[in-house]
Amino acid sequence: MSLAQSAIETMKKRQSVRTYAAEGIKDSHLMQIMDYLRNEENLVGPFGNKGRIEFIQVTNNVSDKGIKLGTYGFIKNPQAYLVGVTTNSKFSLVEFAYIFQKVVIMLTEQNIGTCWMGGTFNRNSFEQEIQLTEGDFIPCITPIGYPNQKQRVFDKALRYVVKADNKKPWEKLFSDSEFNVPLTKENAGSLGLPIEMVRLGPSASNKQPWRLLLSSDRKLCHFFIEHTPNYSSSLGYDMQLLDMGIAMCQFELACKELDIEGSWIVEEPNIPLPNEQTEYIVSWNMM
């Protein structure tokens, strides 16, 4: 299964699915999913960190091993789960989310529903299901299945509660050369659409912590995170780092589709930060 369709159109249409149809996943789709996950190239991030994604088929949220997988009532009738495994460190989390979002986009192309979950699931139940070694950590999971088109009221209600459709405007997220100068779509040039894909991406509690700054020569697009104080601290990891990996994935997929050549580098620019919650992560270097 490849990203053969328009990734940009797929990213535009994707929404979190929490209510699934009773129909099991088709054998043809199962085969494509497993082939994708067996290809090690699909599980390596831009800086070489490798992730692991386990597939668990379920019936009434119970695995073949008889383990009840808990999602606190947020997910209705999933047919399977994809479970992410990496180490609990800054760049491992960022790169893993980049890898995981590519899988999510690939599934969306096949009309298979997904829902990023970083905190609203019982980690212990999933840890019992898969083999973990020392240092392994489950940062996120997604249920998968075909969306139940007739029972999406719950999904719509939850989207309203978490304000999932309320995306921050450009001037709140993107800056031009300096943080106190908002970047406009007109001044973003060829990177306008990739930057818009970042804006439309999913994030934990729809906090949208990404802050992008385009250099004056338009050769570098710097990615920063504006941390929400104490967010996810009770979970023992910085969930918002996953959002940055999602942002990188959305941006890069759009660049590739538009034939915008570039690569990821980590070279912190000498730019005054707007507040102490803002931290540099990575930059896209235009070729």
Contact 55, 112 (CB under 8 A): no
pLDDT tens-digit series, residues 170-186: 999 999 999 999 999 99
Encoding tokens for residue 25?
Answer: 């996943």
In this predicted structure, the answer to whether residue 164 has a pLDDT above a threshold of 80 is no
Q: Where are the domains of the chain?
A: 7-156, 170-286
Residue 160: pLDDT band with limits 50, 70, 90: low
CA distance 184 to 1: 36
Q: Percentage of residues in the chain with pLDDT exceeding 90?
A: 87
Rounded mean pLDDT, 4-24 = 92
**Which class is 7-156 in CATH?**
alpha beta
CB count, 10 Å around CB of 4? 8
pTM confidence score: 0.93
Residue 149: pLDDT band with limits 50, 70, 90: confident
Encoding tokens for residue 138?
Answer: 């489950």
Report angle CA 235, 238, 243 to the nearest 5 degrees: 120
H-only helix segments in the chain: 7-13, 27-38, 90-109, 123-129, 153-161, 170-173, 192-200, 240-257
pLDDT of residue 72: 85
The helix (run of H) or strand (run of E) holding residue 141 is strand 141-145
Rounded mean pLDDT, 261-276 = 96
In this predicted structure, the answer to whether residue 10 has a pLDDT above a threshold of 80 is yes
Rounded mean pLDDT, 108-132 = 94
pLDDT tens-digit series, residues 33-57: 999 999 999 999 999 999 999 999 9
Rounded mean pLDDT, 100-129 = 95
In this predicted structure, the answer to whether residue 162 has a pLDDT above a threshold of 70 is no
CATH code: domain 170-286 is 3.40.109.30
Rounded mean pLDDT, 122-126 = 94
Rounded mean pLDDT, 3-31 = 92
Phi/psi for 211 (5° steps) reads: -135, 115
Report angle CA 282, 285, 287 to the nearest 5 degrees: 160
Greater model confidence, 162 or 276: 276
CA distance 34 to 172: 40
pLDDT of residue 166: 83
Domain 170-286 in the same topology as domain 7-156: yes
Q: Which residues of 152-166 are buried (b: 16+ CB within 10 A; e: fewer)?
A: eeebeeebeeeebee
Residue 158: pLDDT band with limits 50, 70, 90: low
Question: What amino acid occupies position 192?
Answer: G
Q: Give me the chain's average pLDDT, please.
A: 93
The helix (run of H) or strand (run of E) holding residue 245 is helix 240-257
Greater model confidence, 158 or 277: 277
pLDDT tens-digit series, residues 207-234: 999 999 999 999 999 999 999 999 998 8
Encoding tokens for residue 188?
Answer: 């973003």
pLDDT of residue 2: 46
CA distance 204 to 177: 27
pLDDT of residue 155: 57
pLDDT of residue 165: 59
Classified as helix, coil or strand, 173 is helix
Residue 278: pLDDT band with limits 50, 70, 90: very high
The contacts of residue 192 (CB under 8 Å, 6+ apart) are 185
CA distance 122 to 52: 19
